[in-house]
């Protein structure tokens, strides 16, 4: 759910995505210029700053204006309430002025009388008709037609002064030409990417925008791996897994998600000054108090994606085992087989079996320490 505010006007194993042959590359091969790489971690800046060095698209629009076009049909022409993300994520402190500018340039117009009357409820339409001595029976469509036939445009405007914006044909074309903008807005947790940075990357890397998103996610995960930031690495890999699932590439998504589970379970947290944090087994065992667990939402995802792919449990397990066996974590608490079992037991909430696995792994590791 969006949060609204009043307007502030002057006032390394890697999977594939759209093409089977595309594997993870080195950071140098991602199509992300060095000059832009640091921008992926920048905090939001005022929109005027963000677009100062950007060229508008062929419609003369900047990314925040394209995004505004997608929200315009939900906004009132006289409204002053806007979602918090305009300021907090994109530095747009005055969405109202931006909307007015879009209207002046022909991208937006107030909705027509038919749409305005059609938005009203039956309970709201009947008094309007009754006040004019007209029939109040019939379907909503009949009531709407009756109101439109009996009232002049001026009367309708006086009765319903609040109009929503309607997109013009050129606005519809502009939104269709920049699909990366609504996509990245709906995925705000992709580290470092927003409507501005992704639009610039798409401009520099012609082709499907999803290929650019994939390269960027891959670059981020590789950088985190090189720097030993395993928690961040797992987050980037999780974004890659869900990205693959969006393309119905269920096998690749399951394999990528297996990486996330593997690193979660093997306590490979971020390093300090490039050195792995020493593993304290008291924080790992027993299961009841362990920090080495599968995130609550991940275990069911394996099952759901396996169902979507039409895979048996054994086939899902095999995909997970293969991908996990390719990993080389700086610390390994559980065997690959134990990791897969933990995922399935977490999904079924079999705490007794989980306790047994953690006890066995704890005895094994403590025995190694004594040895």
Q: What is the pTM of this model?
A: 0.76
pLDDT for 80: 80
Q: To the nearest 5 percent, what fractions of the chain are helix, strand and coil?
A: 60, 5, 40
d(Cα 257, Cα 305) in Å, to the nearest integer?
10
Report CA-CA distances (Å) from 263 to 103, 314, 323.
50, 22, 12
Give CA separation, 347 vs 92, 112, 203, 239, in Å: 42, 52, 42, 20
The closest alpha carbon to 252, from 262, 243, 261, belongs to: 243
Q: Which of 243, 224, 245, 242 is nearest to 295 (CA)?
A: 242
Return the bridge partners of 76, or none.
Answer: 164
**Of 38-42, 213-217, 245-249, 288-292, which gets the smallest average pLDDT?**
38-42
* 52-102 confidence digits (pLDDT tens): 999 999 999 999 999 999 999 999 888 888 989 999 999 999 999 999 999
What pLDDT digit, counting tens, does each position of 146-195 carry? 999 999 999 998 998 889 999 999 999 999 999 999 999 999 878 788 99
Element (DSSP H or E) covering residue 236: helix 230-246
Report how far apart, in Å, the C-alpha atoms of 335 and of each of 134, 224, 251, 258, 357 are: 78, 23, 22, 13, 10
| Maximum Cα–Cα distance across the chain | 96
């Amino acid at each position: 759910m969006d949060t609204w505010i009043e307007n502030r006007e002057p006032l390394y194993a890697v999977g594939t995505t759209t093409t089977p042959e595309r594997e993870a590359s080195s950071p140098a091969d991602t199509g992300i210029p060095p000059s832009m790489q640091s921008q992926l971690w920048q905090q939001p800046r005022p929109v005027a700053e963000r677009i100062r060095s950007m060229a508008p698209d062929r419609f003369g629009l900047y990314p925040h204006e394209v995004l505004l076009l997608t929200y315009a049909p939900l906004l009132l022409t006289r409204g002053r309430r806007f979602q918090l993300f305009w300021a907090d994520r994109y530095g747009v402190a005055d969405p109202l002025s931006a909307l007015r500018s879009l209207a002046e340039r022909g991208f937006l117009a107030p909705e027509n009388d038919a749409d305005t009357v059609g938005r009203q409820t039956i309970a709201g339409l009947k008094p309007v008709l009754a006040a004019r001595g007209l029939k109040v029976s019939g379907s909503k469509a009949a009531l709407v037609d009756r109101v439109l036939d009996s009232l002049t445009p001026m009367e309708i405007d006086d009765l319903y002064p609040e109009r929503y914006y309607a997109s013009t044909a050129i606005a519809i074309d502009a939104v269709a030409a920049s699909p990366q903008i609504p996509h990245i807005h709906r995925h705000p947790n992709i580290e470092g990417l927003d409507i501005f940075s992704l639009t610039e990357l798409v401009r520099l890397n012609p082709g499907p925008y999803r290929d650019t998103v994939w390269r960027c996610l891959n670059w981020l995960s590789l950088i985190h791996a090189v720097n030993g930031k395993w928690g961040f690495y797992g987050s980037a890999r999780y974004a890659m897994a869900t990205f693959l699932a969006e393309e119905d590439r269920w096998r690749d998504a399951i394999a990528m998600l297996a990486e996330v589970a593997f690193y979660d379970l093997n306590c490979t947290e971020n390093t300090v000054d490039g050195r792995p944090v020493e593993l304290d087994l008291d924080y790992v065992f027993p299961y009841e108090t362990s920090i080495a667990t599968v995130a609550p939402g991940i275990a069911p995802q394996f099952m759901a994606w396996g169902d979507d792919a039409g895979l048996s449990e054994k086939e899902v397990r095999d995909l997970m085992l293969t991908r996990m066996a390719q990993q080389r974590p700086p610390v390994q608490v559980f065997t690959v087989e134990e990791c897969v079992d933990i995922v399935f037991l977490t999904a079924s909430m079999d705490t007794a079996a989980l306790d047994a696995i953690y006890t066995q792994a704890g005895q094994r590791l403590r025995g190694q320490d004594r040895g």
